[in-house]
Structure 1
Amino acid sequence: MKSFIKALKSFAAAKDGATAIEYALLAGLISVVIVTAVTGVGTGIDAVFDGVVAAL
């Protein structure tokens, strides 16, 4: 049990885990922005193609 507590304290004191979490959050935020942008562009392109089909 003492080794588990020692390992837990070591993990809490390590800075590498915090950096990895920060990078993961940043990557998640960037992916949300990309999905939102692609969805918006896709909607705009859909409207353009609907206009072309209507013109034909």
Structure 2
Amino acid sequence: MSAALADRKGVTALEYGVIAAVTIVVGLAAFATIGTDLAAKFASVDGLLK
């Protein structure tokens, strides 16, 4: 019985690991997109100010 519980805990830990990894990848993709957009906006404003 305890072996089955330990196995289930391992599966749960793996699920949390996958959720964390997906969250990190989505966050990095969002930051990369936002960073690119912000760089373009700042370049546009810089061009207008010169």
TM-score, normalization by structure 1: 0.75
CA distance in 1, matches of 2:8, 2:46: 57
| Structure whose alpha-carbon radius of gyration is higher | 1
Aligned structure 1 segments of 4 or more residues deviating by more than 4 angstroms: none
Matches within 5 A, 1:9-20: 10=3, 14-20=7-13
Q: Please give the root-mean-square deviation of Cα atoms over the aligned residues, in Å.
A: 1.5
Identity %: 35
Amino acid at match of 1:41: I
Q: Which residue of 1 aligns with 2:46?
A: 53
Counterpart of 1:21 (choices 14, 19, 27) is 14
- Determine helix, strand or coil for the equivalent of 2:19: helix
TM-score, normalization by structure 2: 0.83
Q: Which residue of 1 aligns with 2:23?
A: 30
Q: Which residue of 2 aligns with 1:43?
A: 36
CA distance in 1, matches of 2:39, 2:16: 34
| Larger RCO (CA within 8 A; separation ≥ 6) | 1
